[in-house]
């Protein structure tokens, strides 16, 4: 039996929805799992992360798969895993969440699904630490999450059917900005006015995405809790954000903890990516441009 797992990229935060909102994107990692009896964990990669990601037992997919075997109290007699990676690593597009879900979903399917989708989601969120990438990667579309009495409740929100027609431009500068570092630089306490600023706007971001109202998205997708601390640390990012707005983007935000920026527009506008990339280049950084759409679908598991 061979299992195939597809998991989408995600963009977390969406400006004011810090650690709460996330959106699945139409860019997929595809991974095949083949059980063996040779006691070996063999992993190969093509695409993103080739030559950078470990292929031994410290690989996040293997760790996540073995976590599921452990939770199910089942031995793993060996696995051959092949990853076709399209989600760039360390970009702010949820590659580590995608890897974790991939490993957990693959192992769960090989074991005959001892865990429900909800249980796998819970396991992945507990391991990852925050839900805003993992939950949309699993469920697809726009997802809001809360932590409630030590449980995470993640809800897929209604999003307009043509949300998939909103055009997303992601520009990923070649700048090392690990999530751990991007979280460590945030203040431990915030002012009440900043909390109110974000709460009110996060609600309107979900409404703008529900109705497809890009003008509303433009005024709501700003933030006081993380972007003002992170953006100045990414060379060229502030000017890239402003240039994207001037080039016609309705809204622009840091994607997750960065360093990528994500711009929303009603139609494909290649100028947006070019002007953002130009600002990063002026700051000494090369960058990659992705033209993406929202994915209403989340992770998929199939038996081959
Ligand atoms: N919300 C997280 C952060 C990143 O901004 O630090 C993704 O989980």
Which residue's CA is the closest to the ligand 1 atom numbered 7?
256
- pLDDT for the residue 163: 64
Per DSSP, the residues of 140-198 read -SEEEEEEETTEEEEEEPP--GGGGGSEEEEEEES----HHHHHHTS-SS--HHHHHHH
Domain 167-292 is found in CATH 3.40.50.2300: no
Q: Whose CA is nearest to atom 5 of ligand 1?
A: 257
Question: Given ligand 1 and candidates 130, 202, 223, 229, which is best to mutate, with the most ligand atoms within 8 Å of its CB?
Answer: 130
- Report domain extents, the chain: 3-157+295-303, 167-292
Question: What is the atom index within ligand 1 of the atom nearest the CA of 94?
Answer: 7
Q: Whose CA is nearest to atom 1 of ligand 1?
A: 19
**The predicted structure's pLDDT at residue 111:** 96
Q: Give me the DSSP letters along the chain.
A: --EEEEEEEEEESTTT-TTTEEEEEEEEEEEEEEE-SSS-EEEEEEETTTTTS--STTSHHHHHHHHHHHHTT-----EEEEEEE-SPTTSSS-HHHHHHHHHHHHHHHHTT--S-HHHHHHHHHHHHS--TTHHHHHH-SEEEEEEETTEEEEEEPP--GGGGGSEEEEEEES----HHHHHHTS-SS--HHHHHHHHHHHHHHHHHHHHT-HHHHHHH---SSSHHHHGGGSTTHHHHHHHHHHTT-SEEEE-TTSS-EEEEESS--HHHHHHHHHHHHHTT--EEEEEE-B-S---EEEE-
**pTM of the predicted model as reported, rounded to 2 decimal places:** 0.94
User: Which ligand 1 atom is nearest residue 132's CA?
Assistant: 8
Length of the chain, please? 304
Q: Which of 11, 13, 99, 225 to mutate to test the pocket of ligand 1 (most atoms within 8 A of CB)?
A: 13
* For ligand 1, mutation pick of 152, 182, 224, 229 (most atoms within 8 Å of CB): 182
d(CA 39, ligand 1 centre) in Å? 36
Residue 62, both tokens: 């293997």
Per-residue pLDDT of the chain (304 residues; tens, 9 = 90+): 899 999 999 999 999 999 999 999 999 999 999 999 998 899 999 999 999 999 998 999 999 999 999 999 999 999 999 999 999 999 999 999 999 999 999 999 999 999 999 899 999 998 887 899 999 999 999 999 988 777 888 999 987 656 667 899 999 999 999 999 999 999 999 999 999 999 999 999 999 998 889 999 999 999 999 999 999 999 999 999 999 999 999 999 999 999 999 999 998 889 999 999 999 999 999 999 999 999 999 999 999 8
How does pLDDT run across 189-216, given as a tens digit for each residue? 999 999 999 999 999 999 999 888 999 9
Alpha carbon of 256 to ligand 1 centroid (Å): 5
Point out which residues pair with 262 in neighbouring strands: 170, 253
Give me ligand 1 centre to Cα 226, in Å. Answer: 9
Whether CATH 3.30.230.10 fits 3-157+295-303: yes
> Of ligand 1's atoms, which has the minimum distance to the CA of residue 257?
5
Centre of ligand 1 to C-alpha 201, Å, is 17
Site residues for ligand 1, CB cut-off 6 Å: 12-13, 19, 130, 132-133, 179, 182-183, 226, 256-257
Q: Say if CB 102 and CB 110 are below 8 A apart.
A: no
């Amino acid at each position: 039996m061979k299992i195939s797992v597809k998991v989408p990229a995600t963009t977390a935060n969406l400006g004011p929805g810090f650690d709460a909102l996330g959106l699945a994107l139409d860019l997929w990692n595809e991974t095949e799992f083949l059980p063996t009896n040779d006691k070996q964990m063999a992993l190969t990669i093509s695409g993103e992360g080739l030559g950078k990601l470990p292929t031994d037992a410290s690989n996040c997919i293997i760790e996540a798969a073995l976590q599921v075997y452990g939770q199910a109290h089942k031995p793993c007699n060996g696995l051959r895993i092949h990853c076709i990676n399209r989600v760039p690593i360390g970009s702010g597009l949820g590659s580590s969440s995608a890897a974790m879900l991939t490993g957990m979903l693959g192992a769960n399917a090989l074991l005959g699904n001892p865990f429900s989708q909800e249980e796998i989601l819970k396991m992945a969120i507990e391991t990852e630490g925050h839900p805003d990438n993992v939950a949309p990667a699993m469920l697809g579309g726009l997802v809001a999450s809360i932590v409630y009495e030590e449980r995470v409740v993640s809800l897929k929100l209604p999003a307009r059917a043509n949300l998939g027609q909103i055009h997303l431009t992601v520009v990923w500068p070649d700048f090392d900005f690990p999530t751990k570092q991007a979280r460590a630089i945030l203040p431990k306490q915030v002012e009440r006015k900043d909390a109110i600023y974000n709460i009110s706007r996060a609600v309107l971001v979900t409404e703008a995405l529900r109705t497809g109202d890009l003008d509303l998205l433009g005024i709501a997708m700003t933030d006081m809790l993380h972007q003002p601390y992170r953006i100045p640390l990414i060379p060229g990012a502030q000017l890239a954000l402003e240039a994207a707005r001037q080039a016609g983007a309705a809204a622009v935000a840091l994607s997750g903890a960065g360093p990528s920026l994500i711009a929303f527009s009603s139609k494909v506008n290649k100028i947006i990516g070019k002007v953002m990339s130009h600002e990063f280049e002026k700051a000494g950084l090369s960058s990659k441009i992705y033209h993406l759409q929202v994915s209403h679908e989340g992770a998929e598991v199939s038996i081959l």
